[in-house]
Amino acid sequence: MDDFYTLLAFARRSALAALRSGDPLPIRDGLTALTAIDGNRVDHRDVSVAAALLSYAGTHDPAPFRNASAHADQTVSEILLGFAKEPVEHLGDWGYREVITDSGRAFFEDNGRRYEPTADLARLALHVAALIEEDVYRVRSIGVGDDLPDVWLRGADRDAVSHAAGLLAGCAAVRADLDPAAHPHADAQRLIAFVAEAANDADAALLSMAATPGGSPPHEALGLRAGNLCCVVIARSFVEGTSSFEKPDALERFSGPLSKLLEGKP
């Protein structure tokens, strides 16, 4: 099963390689990877998303998809033939957004929510991801068009927090897993860093102040802000009966570096 998802990851990366280079060869490589997948043993939606990225990054030439379909099982074949007939024009239909980064064009997960920030939250999220990678976590996804769930914001008036969160101009999220070498139950540990642009400085201050540890199940939290930008970091175990890797106040080690990023000093 892990091998199938390695192939899916390769297909998505092939789409990115084609998008950045303009070379159609990675599209064919990605499609070849998809034909090696047993469509009955994975979530067919994962195959569809990978194929959608390949379609978007390609030249809308149906031939590679039609040719690849002949070498795939029935489930994957039907998916590929679907994209041969209807190439992808808009990534938003598939939960992604194309973003220009310092490293070039990239695919960011996009939940379809409001995303109209004046600050470059995508670039800021990439810097946050790099900071997290320097620690004991390994980033697995970066998304824009996220929301800031008030389940993590219990340290202030709930109505005021919900109102401020509902007025966000945009929110990006960096999701990471604990490095397996750091803990015997690393697969149970998650860290999420939300970077958001609030409607005003007061809302940003409220949201950052509301990020307090606790809850059920318990989690550790860190809230920071600079102007109308705020960052909320949450760490917890997602497996019942497994204690959190992060101890009280341990997330404070991110406070200084994250504050510099929010202030525009990466």
Q: What is the pLDDT of residue 115?
A: 87
Fold of 96-262: Protein Transport Mog1p; Chain A (3.40.1000)
Query: What is the chain written as a DSSP string?
Result: -HHHHHHHHHHHHHHHHHHHH--SHHHHHHHHHHHTS-TTSS-HHHHHHHHHHHHHHS-S-SHHHHHHHTTS-HHHHHHHHHHHHS----GGGGTEEEEEETTEEEEEEE-SS----SS-HHHHHHHHHHHHHTTTEEEEEEEES----GGG--SS-HHHHHHHHHT-SEEEEEEEEE-GGG-TTGGGEEEEEEEEE-SSHHHHHHHHHH--SBTTTTBEEEEEEETTEEEEEEEEE-STT---SSPTTGGGGGHHHHHHHHTT--
| Across 122-141, average pLDDT | 95
What pLDDT does residue 266 have?
60
Q: Is the predicted pLDDT of residue 197 greater than 80, yes or no?
A: yes
pLDDT the model gives residue 155: 94
Residues 147-193: tens digit of each pLDDT: 999 999 999 999 999 999 999 999 999 999 999 999 999 999 999 99
What is the C-alpha to C-alpha distance for residues 107 and 95, in angstroms, rounded to an integer?
A: 10
Is the pLDDT score of 100 beyond 90?
Answer: no
Q: Is the pLDDT assigned to residue 72 strictly greater than 70?
A: yes
pLDDT (0 to 100) of residue 251 = 98
pLDDT score recorded for residue 240: 86
Domain assignments of the chain as residue spans, ordered by start: 2-92, 96-262
- pLDDT above 90 for 146: no
Task: Please report which confidence band the pLDDT of residue 265 belongs to, taking 50, 70 and 90 as the band edges.
Answer: low
Asked if residue 233 has pLDDT above 80, the reply is yes
